[in-house]
Structure 1
Amino acid sequence: MHKIITFAIPCYNSAADMDHGITSILEGSDFAEDVEIVIVDDGSQDETAAKADEWAQRYPSIIRAVHQENGGHGIAVLTGIREAQGTYYKVVDSDDWLDGSALATMLSILRGFEERGMQVDLFISNYVYEKVYENKRTTISYRGALPRKKVFTWDKIGYFRPDQNLLMHSLTYRTEVVRAANLPLPAHTFYVDNIYAYVPLPLCKTMYYADIDLYRYFIGREGQSVNEATMIRRLDQQFRITRIMMHAYHLYQDVPESRLASYMMGYFTMMMAVCSVFSKLSGDEANKAESKKLWAELKEYDERMYRHARGGILGIGTNLPTKAGEKTSIALYRAASKIFKFN
């Protein structure tokens, strides 16, 4: 049967978590035959592979299990893209889940497009930070930034607040579009979701925003990739991802849609700011030197992008000189984190 959408679930040692997300898709879609779930077992050492095969055996017309040597989250995402049979493609991390009623709404919209012989390149929906250990949740919506209930182009978008960046959780690409992006996702590297949410955007010519709280993002576990201590420990990977994003585009030359270029510039500036502030949080002089090197590399690569990034509030605020300036930059980051719920 034709598949309207493929949900890819990258799994590495996910046996304890994966059932919830898989069940949420099955039940939210009412076990629909036009939905596909591809479980990508990324060389797991626990019971993930066996559980993936069990799910595929129970629902062979909906679920497929793919096994590969360990390559990291990005390689698992690429495998999902390669294997996808659906018109649309969405990544659901193995410890996250989808809201049932929101998923039903999403599928109704996508099916409606196909019935009318149309497609969109990008379907956008809200996501919710589920801070389970704190019994709190924070919803990230795009009200005010995106038109609702209509197909639109980039010239119709508005201003995105710092907490409104389009993240992997909010994006469902048309499969052929994300394939055409040839995503440069490195192996064994965290934070590849930033590349996923950045590089394909200029290829997306038509969008639709559904104001539904679809994706439930589990956050707050010790050792999670967005945990502050973990981010400091993996700062080399943050530098790697930011460099890839830097070299993906000369934004003001390669992206003709001015509002899209402006949005992407804001997203990239945030990535540069993260590198700056976390190099200071680390207290490691080597990290601070690498951050300065990254800024110098940006200036050499594209001076206009450098001016926008370094001369804006984020660039200035996260690169204040002197020891006192460092403390101020860190204090500003902590205040912004509380306001915008970054992690």
Structure 2
Amino acid sequence: MKVLTVVIPCYNSADYMDRAIESLLIGSEDLEILIIDDGSGDDTLKIAKDYERKYPGIVYTIHKENGGHGDAVTTGLKNSNGLYFKVLDSDDWFDKDSFKKVLSILKDLIKTSKTVDMLIANYVYENAIIHRSKSINYKGAMPEEKIFTWDELGHLKNSQNILMHSVIYRTDVLRECNLELPKHTFYVDNIFVYKPLPYVKTMYYINVDLYRYFIGREDQSVNEKVMISRIDQQIKVTKILIDSYNPMIIGSRKLRKYMTKYIVMMMAVSTVLLLKENTDDSLHKKNELWNYLNYKNKSLYREVSKSTLGLLMQLKGLLGRNIILLGYSLSRRVIGFN
């Protein structure tokens, strides 16, 4: 069995997938690289097959009908032979030195029979538009290079949310929570990183900049105009997270607090985008989403509503809308993600 499976979902990725794949080729037989060709119409499959021939036993190609990013990740999970599981998007890449350290630590943990359900490393926003890099780390919030539990977690700042870019899951954790991402849906990385959390009992943080997250393509899902055009999918994913919040299986108070905070963030993103669209239909969708939260989980609704961001998101009228959008604009500048 391999130590780590890295899944690369690819759809018409021929122009940039080489960088992602090359960043994983560190000469380790402990690694399994699954390139999932999601029904591409360009040379993606050919490139993937070339790597498979060049690196037998390490690189594997799976061709499937188009089902979207989430379906490609699900396909990768079903075919994974690694004890640990990581997703690398085809336009992103790993820092090789950091990756060597991460893989070495995973091997040591396995060798000493120490179970870690989730390993966290830093990620870096690589913004091609403003030619700026910004590292997101978890210093001060997580103990470094030791096994810890939710009860030992410190305060996570708003910039320190645990994202798909930063997390490596033990594969059995993903299978235990029956993770299956919806087809033809954007923003499913939120489901990937959120639904398994109650099944995570032990964690390990490595303070290295592993994941390089590229921002700059006009068609990219984090582009604001694109996000507004796909608002129905953002709402769909937010509702799935709401449905996934089950206090009966969340053992730790700190975990419950973090999962609530994540819902607050998702509600805020959906609310802002709907206000930016600013149509009768979008305002109706905003109210419907908040009503959905209240209907599905009244206690969670109360917790979200009384948070500072939750209170802000529910301001009414033109003044309320302007305050919400101003706060959103300021937060974007601080984080610098798009």
TM exceeds 0.5? yes
- 2:289 equivalent to 1:294: yes
CA distance in 2, matches of 1:292, 1:165: 26
Q: Are the counterparts in 1 of residues 125 and 337 from structure 2 also a CA contact under 8 Å? A: no
Structure-1 residue corresponding to 2:301: 306
Structure 2: unaligned runs, 5 residues or longer: none
8 Å contact from structure 2 (residues 141, 153) kept in 1? yes
Show the counterpart of 2:256.
261
Aligned counterpart, 2:182: 186
CA contact (8 A) 1:126 1:214 kept: yes
Does the CA-based 8 Å contact 2:74-2:180 persist in structure 1? Answer: no
| Aligned mate of 2:142, from 146, 153, 161 | 146
Secondary structure of residue in 2 paired with 1:244: helix
How far apart are 1:131 and its partner, in Å? 1.0
Residue 282 (str. 1) matches residue 281 (str. 2)? no
Quote the Cα distance in structure 2 between the aligned partners of 1:224 and 1:334: 19
Q: Aligned letter for 1:291? A: K
Question: What letter matches 1:262 in structure 2?
Answer: K
Q: Kindly provide the CA deviation profile for residues 184-242 of structure 1, in whole angstroms up to 9, marking residues without a partner as x.
A: 41110100000001000111111100001000000122121001111111000000000
Q: Which amino acid aligns with 2:268?
A: A
Q: Counterpart in 2 of 1:322?
A: 317
SS of the aligned residue for 1:133 comes to: coil
- Residue 120 of structure 2, aligned match among 115, 118, 124: 124
Give 5+ residue unaligned stretches, structure 1. Answer: none
Q: Percent identity?
A: 45
Determine if the alignment matches structure 1 residue 60 to structure 2 residue 56.
Answer: yes
Against the structure 1 CA distance between its residues 265 and 78, is the aligned structure 2 distance closer, same or farther, given a 3 Å change threshold? same
* TM-fit CA distance, 1:134: 2.3
CA deviation map 1:268-290 (0-9, x unaligned): 11001111111001112211111
2:104 alignment partner in structure 1:
108
Amino acid in the other structure paired with 1:198: Y
Q: Is 1:72 aligned to residue 39 of structure 2?
A: no
Counterpart of 1:272?
A: 267
Assess, with a 3 A threshold, how the Cα gap between structure 1 residues 201 and 161 changes in structure 2: closer, same or farther: same
User: Could you say what secondary structure the match of 2:82 adopts?
Assistant: coil
TM-score of the pair, normalised by structure 2: 0.98
- Would you say the 8 A contact 1:123–1:173 is kept in 2? yes
Give me the whole-angstrom Cα distance separating, in 2, the residues matched to 1:16 and 1:133.
18
SS of aligned partner of 1:25: coil
Output one character per residue of 1:123-174: Cα deviation in whole Å (capped at 9) or x when no partner.
Answer: 1000000113322100000111111111011100011111111000000001
The CA deviation at 1:308 is 1.3
- The CA distance in 2 between the partners of 1:249 and 1:232, in whole Å, is 25
In structure 2, distance between residues paired with 1:248 and 1:113: 30
Distance 1:317 1:210 in 2: 35
Partner Cα separation in structure 2 for residue 179 and residue 153 of structure 1: 20
Task: Name the SS of the counterpart of 1:194 in structure 2.
Answer: helix
* Matches of 1:254 and 1:288, distance apart in 2: 34
Structure 1 residue aligned with 2:41: 45
Encode CA deviations 1:293-339: one digit per residue, 9 max, x unaligned.
11111112111111111221111212211112111111111011111
| Structure 2 partner of 1:10 | 9
Alignment of 1:199-218 (within 5 A): 199-218=195-214
State the Cα distance separating 1:254 from its structure 2 match.
3.3
Partner Cα distance (2:235, 2:180) in 1: 15
Distance 2:324 2:80 in 1: 43
- 2:332 maps to 1:337: yes
User: Cα offset for 1:342?
Assistant: 4.1
1:243 to 219, 239, 245: 239
Distance 1:294 1:342 in 2: 25
Aligned length: 338
Find the counterpart in structure 1 of residue 167 from structure 2.
171
Paired residues of 2:167 and 2:193 also in contact (CA < 8 A): yes
Q: Residue 123 of structure 1: SS of its match in structure 2?
A: strand
Q: Which amino acid aligns with 2:20?
A: G
Per-residue deviation, 1:182: 1.4
AA of the residue aligned to 1:7: V
Which deviates further from its counterpart, 306-315 or 122-131? 306-315
Partners of 1:223 and 1:197 in 2: CA distance: 23
Q: What is the DSSP-based 3-state SS (H/G/I as helix, E as strand, rest coil) of the residue aligned with 1:160?
A: coil
Structure 1 residue corresponding to 2:221, chosen from 216, 222, 225: 225
TM-score, structure 1 as length reference: 0.96
Rate the CA distance shift 1:184–1:32 in 2: closer, same or farther, 3 A. closer
- Whole-Å separation in 2 of the counterparts to 1:139 and 1:273: 23
Root-mean-square deviation (CA, aligned residues, Å) is 1.1
